[in-house]
Amino acid sequence: MDYRAQIGIRFITRRKGSLIAASLAVAIAILVVQVNSVIFQGLYDAIVRDQINYRFGHVYITRQEDYITKSDFVLVNWLERIPYVQAAAPRLDSVAQINSTVNGQLIKDYQVPIIGVDPVLDKEASTIFTTVGQGEFVSFRNSIVLGALVARDLGNPQIGDTVKLKFKDRYGNDVLKRFTIVGITQTAGSVGLDNSAIINIDTLRDVIERPHESGAILVRLNDPSKAEDVKQLFLSAFPSNSDKFKAQTIEESAETTLRGFRSGIALINLVGYFGMMSSAFAVVTIQMMQVTSKTREIGIMRAIGSKRKDILLVFIFQGMVIGAIGAGLGTVLGIGYTVYAKETHMTFQGSLPLEVHYNWASIIQTDIMAFVLAVIASIYPAYKATKLEPVEAMRYA
Amino acid sequence: MPDYVLEVQNLDKIYGEGETAFSALKNLSFTVKRGEFILIVGSSGSGKSTLLNMIGLLDKPTRGTVIIDGVNTSVLNDNQLSSFRNSKLGFIFQFSNLLSDLTVLENVVLPRKIQGTMSGAMEEGKNLLKTVGLEDQMNKFANKISGGQAQRVAITRALINKPAIVLADEPTGNLDSVSAETTIQLLKSLNRKLHQTFIVVTHDRPQFGDVDKVITIKDGRIVEGELEVA
């Protein structure tokens, strides 16, 4: 082993207090970045997951300015012939005034979003049916599933109760229709359809006078990485100049929801990296203490022939030891936390469960950054050590 | 090979400037032949350690020249001085000055590691430690041996590169009388056995008995008439 590396390693490993303090500073900085990543990237990915599962699918097809008039049967069949497509289902959105009578008391009308779903196809393309906590998913024509927030605002009606909805059809006429509540849907963090009501798409089509029309087609893929391919395949098969279709991947369709969150993640990451800078200052301080405590040894080494650059390398090697141990420890702690978060489906106060992934690229990037920072933080103390004159250094007691 | 292993010519060392200037060495000149055992003696503050630092190339003179083994050291840059110290000089200091984080053997071979000539160094180091009676201590860390033992380790470290001159600054100053006597006898026997040049700074002239030459320093000058030849 190179003697400068040997001395550097001995200097720091035989001062366990300094080694532990410096390595912990680096490890904690890595842990902060990892925890931030697990929580905030996990939250972001969870939102994306739920947006895919409940609202948009992996590819979301709409028509640029109007409802889709082409038969949903034709579109779904065409899409399901693509090998990457697991399922596709039509949806139709509208709004209605809703009221209910609970214990003989009329709960005041208010407007709620109405989602029309195909009871069979939607179960293949979306997992919104799994969020029905009480009762069952929509099935027959006059059944309705209320979002938990809607049910709460309606005074918590029971399964089997009826609600009255007032729609406006495409000509602006009011249409009144009574539905039987068959289920209540509730999602963690209310990111599902908790503020909406779900009914049979054919019922909605009839009520608003849009027979055979759809608002959108959700496409669920068995390989989400092929979303762009499916989108392009669809657009080339149904060119926008004739059908005026618009196809969006989840990144595009959920952009409004995700944009603000991405800025938040960037800010949080910045905080994590500032934490890493703080650890660099801790390394500088500990290395300066090391240089002071080793002044006499530096003098001896210079006296017996070490050059200034050799002294520099001794302390750079020390920094490498601190960086390597700190990065190793930080990675173990960070991965431990990630495993815990993943295995326990970590949530915060009933919010949506985090979508935790092992982001090896990010882990390695953080480790390298921490290691490099520890080495950089050692340069100034090392430089100070090289400036010591041997005769002065050896006088140091 | 030059006649003299060391030539000191008109050496001055002034610390500070202007009114605070202090002249530690004043126009010193002398020579040392190969294989001599030289004592530099003087009272505390006389300038003997300053002189040793100049000869050891650990400090630069204000004026004058130090020629070691025929090389004018005043023309060497910092890196060349480091290499020169490594190959031509061996150091023994008052406080053994071993690296406490290395073992005894690692301390002994350190100059060879610095030189980058490790071939056979471990064996040589072990043999030298055997010579000074420390073969059973070679794997101990340097801070785990006694002061007398540490000084013997420092002596073997000073010899490992077969330097032109071994410089010793108060090598017995921190030892009890028995260890001091052992150290002195060791230095003198190595001088005879290896024909190794030793320049030893001490304030205790009688402790060393017969030597080849004694240079007495007083107020930064070699005292006239006290350049004693044994």
Q: Give me the DSSP letters along A244-299.
A: -EEEEEHHHHTHHHHHHHHHHHHHHHHHHHHHHHHHHHHHHHHHHHHHHHTHHHHH
Q: Considering only alpha carbons, which residue of chain A is nearest residue B60?
A: A391
Asked whether A305 and B56 are in contact (CB, 8 A), the reply is: no
d(CA A211, CA B196): 111
- Residue B206 DSSP SS3: helix
Interface with chain A: mutation pick from B110, B115, B140, B201, highest number of A CBs within 10 Å: B110
Asked whether B156 and B131 are in contact (CB, 8 A), the reply is: yes
* Record: contact A310-B114, CB cut-off 8 A: yes
More confident residue, A343 or B1: A343
Strands (DSSP E) found in chain B: 4-15, 22-33, 37-41, 63-68, 71-72, 89-92, 165-169, 197-202, 213-218, 221-222, 228-229
Cβ-count burial A378-393 (b if 16+ within 10 Å, e if not): beebbebbbebebbeb
The CA-atom distances, in angstroms, between A229 and each of A58, A226, A234 are: 11, 5, 9
Asked whether A198 and A117 are in contact (CB, 8 A), the reply is: yes
Q: Could you tell me the pTM of the whole model?
A: 0.77
**Residues of chain B neighbouring A308 (CB-CB closer than 8 A):** 78-79, 82
Asked whether A228 and A60 are in contact (CB, 8 A), the reply is: no
The CA-atom distances, in angstroms, between B40 and each of A134, A304, B138 are: 101, 21, 32
CA A13 to chain centre: 40
Across the interface, of B79, B102, B114, the residue whose CB is closest to A304 is: B114
Q: Considering only alpha carbons, which residue of chain B is nearest residue A6?
A: B102
Asked whether B184 and B207 are in contact (CB, 8 A), the reply is: yes
**Residues of chain A neighbouring B79 (CB-CB closer than 8 A):** 307-308
Q: Digits of tens for pLDDT over chain A (397 positions)?
A: 888 999 999 988 888 888 999 999 999 999 988 888 888 888 888 888 888 989 899 999 998 878 999 999 999 999 999 999 999 999 999 999 988 776 677 777 788 999 999 999 999 999 999 989 889 999 888 999 999 999 988 888 889 988 899 999 888 899 999 999 999 998 876 667 888 999 999 999 999 999 989 999 999 999 999 999 999 999 998 887 777 899 999 988 888 778 888 888 888 888 888 888 888 888 898 989 888 888 888 989 999 999 999 999 999 999 999 999 999 999 999 999 999 999 988 887 667 788 888 888 888 988 999 999 999 999 999 998 898 888 878 776 5
**pLDDT averaged over every residue in chain B:** 88
- Residue A148 DSSP SS3: helix
Per-residue model confidence (pLDDT) at position B225: 47
* Record: contact A306-B114, CB cut-off 8 A: yes
**Residues of chain B neighbouring A296 (CB-CB closer than 8 A):** 97
**Residues of chain A neighbouring B59 (CB-CB closer than 8 A):** 389, 391
Per-residue model confidence (pLDDT) at position B197: 92
Per-residue model confidence (pLDDT) at position B2: 65
Does B85 contact A at CB distance below 8 Å?
A: yes
Q: What is the pLDDT of residues B21-44, one digit of tens each?
A: 888 999 999 999 999 999 999 888
Contacts of A334 by beta carbon, 8 Å cutoff, 6+ apart? A30, A31, A33, A34, A35, A363, A366
Across the interface, of B87, B93, B110, the residue whose CB is closest to A3 is: B110
Does B101 contact A at CB distance below 8 Å?
A: yes
Give the start-to-end residue ranges of the domains of chain A. Answer: 3-50+258-393, 66-243
d(CA A240, CA A228): 16
**Residues of chain A neighbouring B85 (CB-CB closer than 8 A):** 303-305
Across the interface, of B86, B100, B102, the residue whose CB is closest to A305 is: B86
Asked whether B35 and B191 are in contact (CB, 8 A), the reply is: yes
- Domains belonging to chain B, first-starting first, are 34-61+76-229 (3.40.50.300)
* Record: contact B113-A303, CB cut-off 8 A: no
* Record: contact B99-A304, CB cut-off 8 A: no
Q: What is the pLDDT of residues B49-65, one digit of tens each?
A: 899 999 999 999 999 99
B78-88 vs B104-115: helix crossing angle, rounded to 10: 130
With a cut of 70, say whether residue B228 has pLDDT above it: no
With a cut of 60, say whether residue B226 has pLDDT above it: no
Among left, alpha and beta (phi > 0; psi -120 to 50; other), residue A335 is alpha
Enumerate the β-bridge partners of residue A198. Answer: A115, A145
Q: Counting Cβ atoms within 10 Å, is residue A101 exposed (0-12), middle (13-18) or buried (19+)?
A: middle
Does B122 contact A at CB distance below 8 Å?
A: no
**Residues of chain B neighbouring A304 (CB-CB closer than 8 A):** 85-86, 91, 110-111, 114, 157
d(CA A49, CA A69): 29
Residue B8: other Cβ atoms inside 10 A:
23
Across the interface, of B78, B97, B113, the residue whose CB is closest to A300 is: B97
Among left, alpha and beta (phi > 0; psi -120 to 50; other), residue A95 is beta
Residue A222: other Cβ atoms inside 10 A:
11
**Residues of chain A neighbouring B99 (CB-CB closer than 8 A):** 7, 297, 300-301
Interface with chain B: mutation pick from A293, A304, A307, A313, highest number of B CBs within 10 Å: A304
Q: What are the phi and psi torsion angles at A209 (to 5°)?
A: 65, 40
Does B78 contact A at CB distance below 8 Å?
A: yes
d(CA A197, CA A108): 16
With a cut of 50, say whether residue B183 has pLDDT above it: yes
Per-residue model confidence (pLDDT) at position A397: 53
* Record: contact B99-A303, CB cut-off 8 A: no
Across the interface, of A10, A305, A306, the residue whose CB is closest to B102 is: A10
Does B115 contact A at CB distance below 8 Å?
A: yes
